[in-house]
A and B are shown apart, each in its own frame.
Chain A
Amino acid sequence: MDTVTYPQPAVANFITEHFVPIRLLLNRSQDQIHFRTHRVIWTPSIVIADRRGVGHYQSPGYLPPELFLPMLRIGLGRALTAWMRYDEAATHLEAVASDQTSGLAPEALYWLGVAWYLKERRRAPMMRAWNKLRELYPRSVWAARVPPNQENEPEE
């Protein structure tokens, strides 16, 4: 991570703009409480947390820059959604979803549908994202997470 992914300017600049980056080391006794708190059992792992230290997204293992940056956007989108900052969340999730070559685009579309639903409490905006997910990535696990016949459900 320190030799390939973090030195990439796009990655470093995104982190500096959007996060307080904190490094926690398994070898340091004072950091081990954080491994236990966040149930991290493997290094490297990334956790995106709010300022209270509550984790909202976890990404285990190494990722190259072209996947690490969209992972950060999804994780940030998840944290923003949890804090009801839906429009900001959608901006990051849409940025990932717009790159159809990205391996993380299906996950971004799934959470984009969730953010839109939570913002408007209506299925229609959610289904715009989820129908695209099923159309473009029918074999992805994220498409499988969409329940069948959602379009036929009445709005609450």
Chain B
Amino acid sequence: MGTANIHWETEWPTAQERAQRERKYLLLDFSREH
């Protein structure tokens, strides 16, 4: 079975940037670096 990549954003997007992603919701992954 293959694998796929997720392109995580690591900076909190500005309100304008978030508005441009119309109708998409935010998936916040709270993690810690290992």
Chain A positions near chain B (C-beta within 8 angstroms): 1, 6-9, 11-13, 15-16, 18-28, 30-31, 34-35, 38, 40, 43-53, 55-56, 72, 76, 79
Contacts and interface: CB of A to CB of B under 8 A. Distances in A.
Contact of A49 (B6, B7, B19, B25): B25
Contact of A43 (B15, B18, B26, B32): B32
A22 B29 contact: yes
Contacts of A45: 30
Contact of A52 (B3, B8, B18): B18
Contacts of A27: 32-33
B25 A24 contact: no
A51 B18 contact: yes
A46 B30 CA distance: 6
A40 B31 CA distance: 10
Contacts of A23: 8-10, 29, 31
A13 B26 contact: no
Contacts of A24: 12, 28-31
Contact of B31 (A12, A13, A44, A50): A44
A13 to B, nearest CB: 6
A150 to B, nearest CB: 30
Contacts of A28: 33
A26 B28 CA distance: 12
Given A1-B31, A20-B24, A30-B12, 11 more contacts: A11-B4, A20-B26, A21-B6, A23-B29, A24-B28, A24-B30, A24-B31, A25-B33, A46-B29, A46-B30, A51-B24
